[in-house]
Structure 1
Amino acid sequence: MTAARGFSLVELMITLVLGLVISGAVIQVLVSSSVTNKLNQAVSQVQEAGRFITRRLTNEFYDVGRYDLITSEIDDSIDPVIEAAYVQNHPIAVVGDFASDAALGSTEGAAGTNDRLMVSKLAQQDCTGSTHGYNNGEAFHVVNLYFVSAQELRCTGFDGRVLRGLKTQVVSPSTIVLLDNVAAFHVQYGVSEATQEATGQAVRYVTAEQIEALRDNQQQVVSLRWALLIQSYQNQVQQSVSPQFAVLNESAVTLNADHYYQVFTKTLALRNMKNFVRSSR
């Protein structure tokens, strides 16, 4: 009868070591796969948000400075010709433009803070969907204010006639959130030439505090350049080094390492303003 023979101590130790090595490799693959999956999700989320907000802002900004006296149905309790002249000469509202609230307007944020953008146009509703008490289908002077608060890009819609002190407020302005996880929002303004030969093309880009003086020099804003720095949800990624980003004319800032970030920039010609400048020659 043959005696039963088991594993020696050396064989058991070798088996345990091989098992640990294989287990470690499997764990490393799983961890790496989890990290990659979280990063892919973060990239996808940020890019989807960037595409959405770029499309929305593009659609809303295309009509900045528009005032159609021919085909639009406009409430004429205020002289639409005078109102058209105001909107076309003030497509970008700056601080001091509105009698009812002189503090409202586009502003250049101090170092490290966000800009605010305020635009005027003729439309049937503001950025929140409010008609401000006008009849269905009736266009009015819409003023939209875009700004960031608590890392949310928000928009407040106003009745331009109320802001100018020409009409009593019927519907209070409301604010909606357009996008969350916004780390920065900055704007530059393309201005035309001041000569009689102005073509409606932007000859240089400026910040909000320069607009009033340029407006006095017969130079109009004919294009917008905006940039949004969008971040992923917290703890989706863990980067080894804190990233740095410079948005438009701003200095580079160091950000948290537990987000994925991406800058979305677009330059848009304001077609109504280009035509207005050309026709004013």
Structure 2
Amino acid sequence: MSRQQGFSLVELMISLLLGTIITGAVIQVLVSSRVTNSLNQAVAQVQESGRFIMTRLSRELVEVGRYDTVSATIDNSVDVVSEAAYVENHPIVLIGDMANDTTLGSTQEGSTGHDTLVVSMLDSQDCTGSNHGYVDDEEFHVVNHYFVSDSKLKCTGYDGRVLRGLKASAVSAKTVTLLDNVVSFQVQYGISDEAENSTGQAISYVTANDLEGLRANNQQVVALRWGLLLRSYENQVVQTATPRFAVLNEDAVTMDNRHYYQVFTKTLALRNMKNFVRSSR
């Protein structure tokens, strides 16, 4: 009668060890794949958001300072020549500029805060899509206020004529959210030389705190430079190092390692203001 041969204890232990090693390797590959996939999703989300907001801001801000008095679509219920002079000389709204809201204006807040940007232009609607009760496609003095609240980049649109006290409000100002997950929003302003010497080019970039004095010196904003630090949704990634980021002229700040972060910057020449400065020589 033959005896059945089984595995020895040593063979069983070797088999278990090999199985454990293989299982561990498979788990490590799966975890690594999941981490890589999460990082790729975070990068794609942040980059898509960055492309969207930079394109939108570029499209809206390129019109800053525009006022074409010969346009057939301007609502002429006010003195458009006087309004044109005001918009062209106040493309960037500063605190105290608007009679009916003296607190509204562009500000510089530093590394731990967000700048605010308030701009003037001639357009048929504000950044929220509102025409403030004017006839469709009729142009008027638009004022757009860009700011960050609760990590969201927002914009409030105004009728500049109401802000200046030239007419009563027909429609309440609206606010829209442009983008989520905004960590920092910073703005710099490209300043021309004094009007009589200027070619319309920016000779330096300054913050909102410097604009009042430069305006008094007959120097105009002819370019805008803005930067945004965006982050991914929470817990999408785990980074081994704690990242640090600086936006434009601000000091670098330390972020957590549970998000993916990226800085987006853009410099935009304001062609309407460049032409205005050249024509003022």
Normalised by the length of structure 2, the TM-score is: 0.99
Whether 2:46 is the aligned partner of 1:46: answer: yes
| Cα distance in 2, alignment partners of residues 28 and 36 from structure 1 | 12
Code of the aligned partner of 1:66: R
Whether 2:199 is the aligned partner of 1:199: answer: yes
Whether 2:35 is the aligned partner of 1:35: answer: yes
Aligned to 2:57: 57
Shift of 1:149: 0.4
Shift of 1:74: 1.4
Q: How many corresponding residue pairs?
A: 281
| Cα distance in 2, alignment partners of residues 136 and 21 from structure 1 | 71
Name structure 2 gaps, 5 residues minimum: none
Shift of 1:75: 1.6
Partner SS for 1:196: helix
Aligned to 2:101: 101
Whether 2:260 is the aligned partner of 1:256: answer: no
Code of the aligned partner of 1:35: V
C-alpha deviations, 1:175-220, integer Å up to 9, x for none?
0000001110000000000052311000000000111110111100
Aligned to 1:127: 127
Partner SS for 2:118: strand
Shift of 1:90: 0.3
Aligned to 1:116: 116
| Cα distance in 2, alignment partners of residues 100 and 195 from structure 1 | 29
Identical-residue share of aligned pairs (%) = 64
Partner SS for 2:13: helix
Code of the aligned partner of 1:260: Y
Deviates more, 1:106-115 or 1:49-58: 106-115
Q: How does 1:82-93 map to 2 (within 5 A)?
A: 82-93=82-93
Q: How does 1:222-233 map to 2 (within 5 A)?
A: 222-233=222-233
Contact preservation (8 Å) 2:191, 2:220: yes
Aligned to 1:139: 139
Aligned to 1:176: 176
List structure 1 segments (4+ residues) > 6 angstroms apart after TM superposition.
none
Contact preservation (8 Å) 1:62, 1:269: yes
Deviates more, 1:195-204 or 1:169-178: 195-204
Code of the aligned partner of 1:148: V
Aligned to 1:161: 161
| Cα distance in 1, alignment partners of residues 196 and 89 from structure 2 | 16
Partner SS for 1:190: strand
| Cα distance in 2, alignment partners of residues 176 and 102 from structure 1 | 22
Code of the aligned partner of 1:152: K
Shift of 1:239: 1.2
Aligned to 2:267: 267
Name structure 1 gaps, 5 residues minimum: none
| Cα distance in 2, alignment partners of residues 15 and 56 from structure 1 | 61
Code of the aligned partner of 2:216: D
